[in-house]
């Protein structure tokens, strides 16, 4: 006998009474009365929103309230509501544990440091080094590093060790500047 999983729904901050998100990674619009600009009222029924794959490759949904429309990543909504995580650039990020970026169930999401998220042991990567990947268009290894919310391009290299050395040099420079 299959045991039924109880889905937990919670209000989304700034959208209380309008939208909710569940621990299963679903977003719904709640039943409510809408007043148009011509003062006509109509009833909107409750419905599960259909996520779409945005430019970031992650699932997002469109939310609208009081005339303002916003597109939000579903995994950000789940972690905001259930883990109290507010996106903060690249300091702490949401990781999809099973590597399926469309699986937004709470049990599949964790908050980790960006540095841990770039650890190659949990990624399908073209390089074993942090900050390095194989750029197919250039036919070379590319190095880059995130610092203060910005990605810094470090160059293209013939081998991944050279690219990793460039990354490590820049990391040491950043850490030395931070200590001052």
Give the tens place of pLDDT for each residue, 25-52. Answer: 999 999 988 877 788 888 888 999 998 9
pLDDT digits (tens, 9 = 90+) for 126-135: 777 888 888 8
Q: Is residue 51 part of a domain?
A: yes
* Span between the terminal Cα atoms of the chain, in Å: 63
What is the largest distance, in Å, between two alpha-carbon atoms of the chain? 66
Q: Evaluate whether residue 154 is within a structural domain.
A: yes
Structural domains of the chain, count:
2
pTM above 0.85, yes or no: no
Residue 163: count of CB within 10 angstroms of its CB:
26
Same domain membership, residue 136 and residue 72: no
Cα–Cα distance measured from residue 98 to residue 49, given in angstroms and rounded to the nearest whole number: 23
- What is the domain extent for residue 57? 9-114
In this structure, what is the dihedral angle of CA atoms 158, 164, 165, 170, given to the nearest 10 degrees? 120
In a domain, 2, yes or no: no
116 pLDDT more than 70? yes
What CATH number is given to the structural domain containing 62? 3.90.75.20
Q: What residues pair up with 133 in beta bridges, in sequence order?
A: 142
Flag whether 4 is in a domain: no
Verify that 141 and 59 share a domain, yes or no. Answer: no
């Amino acid at each position: 006998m299959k045991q039924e999983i109880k889905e937990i729904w919670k209000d989304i901050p700034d959208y209380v009474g309008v939208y909710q998100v569940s621990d299963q990674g679903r977003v719904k619009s709640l039943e409510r009365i809408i007043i148009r600009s011509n003062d006509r009222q109509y009833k909107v029924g409750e419905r599960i929103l259909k996520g779409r794959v945005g430019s970031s490759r992650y699932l997002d949904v469109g939310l609208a309230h009081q005339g303002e429309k916003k597109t939000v990543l579903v995994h950000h909504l789940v972690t905001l509501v259930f883990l109290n995580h507010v996106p903060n650039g690249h300091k702490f990020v949401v990781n999809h544990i099973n590597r399926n970026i469309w699986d937004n169930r709470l049990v599949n999401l964790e908050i980790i440091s960006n540095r841990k998220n770039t650890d190659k042991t949990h990624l399908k990567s073209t390089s074993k080094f942090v900050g390095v990947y194989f750029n197919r268009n250039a036919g070379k290894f590319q190095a880059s590093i995130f610092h203060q919310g910005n990605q810094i391009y470090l160059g293209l290299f013939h081998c991944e060790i050279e690219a990793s050395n460039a990354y490590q040099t820049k990391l040491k420079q950043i850490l030395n500047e931070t200590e001052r």
